[in-house]
Amino acid sequence: MTGEQFVFLAVSGLTIVAGILVVTLRNLFHAALAMMLSFLGVAGIYITLGAGFLAAAQLLIYIGAISILIIFAIMLTRRMMQAQDTPFNSQAGAGLLTAVLSFILLVFVITRLWRNEIFDSPPEVPTAIMNQIVVQLGADFVSPDAYVIPFIVASMLLLAALIGAVYVAWPQVEDEA
């Protein structure tokens, strides 16, 4: 096992443990912090796979924006922080079945990749092609014919979620008549 494979497995283990904490922690704020840790682990996986642009996007978008927005929403709705409800529900059987089937599928895919020794020799991509891909992606983000409309729609959705969280958290004024 190479050092790169060891780092990949360690970061993957961290991501899995953080994901389990997200769904089992009773405190909503702590679950949100564990979610940020799992997002950081996914960024680490991207780095070990040589996808630096995706790792940077993961850090900026998921950790820098979405996680912070969720934490603000939690902090604005204080009554949710005191809730000590059980994180388990009546769909545990279906969730367990889905998790087992997903695990079997992942083991199947990983063992096939391991036998093909894809981990030992990743395909070489010329630097000129990689640089051109990043330039093209940047142009597509600001082009009205490509991704600018979905980007604006996503930002409006996040703004609506933040406004909704503020509205829900705003103290209700009772009429004094």
Domain ranges of the chain: 1-83, 92-123, 126-177
pLDDT reported for residue 50: 81
User: For the residues 148-158, what does the mean pLDDT come to?
Assistant: 84
User: Does this model's pTM top 0.85?
Assistant: no
User: For the residues 105-110, what does the mean pLDDT come to?
Assistant: 82
Please say whether the beta carbons of 67 and 18 come within 8 A. Answer: no
**Which tokens is 7 given?**
């780092």
Reduced 3-state DSSP string for 62-102 = HHHHHHHHHHHHHHHCHHHHCCCCCCCCCCHHHHHHHHHHH
* pLDDT of 6 above 70: yes
Per-residue pLDDT band at 53 (split at 50, 70, 90) = confident
Please say whether the beta carbons of 45 and 137 come within 8 A. Answer: no
CA distance 147 to 145: 7
Please say whether the beta carbons of 39 and 74 come within 8 A. Answer: no
CATH number for region 1-83: 1.20.120.1200
Mean pLDDT of the chain: 81
Task: Note the maximum CA span of the chain.
Answer: 77
CA distance 41 to 55: 10
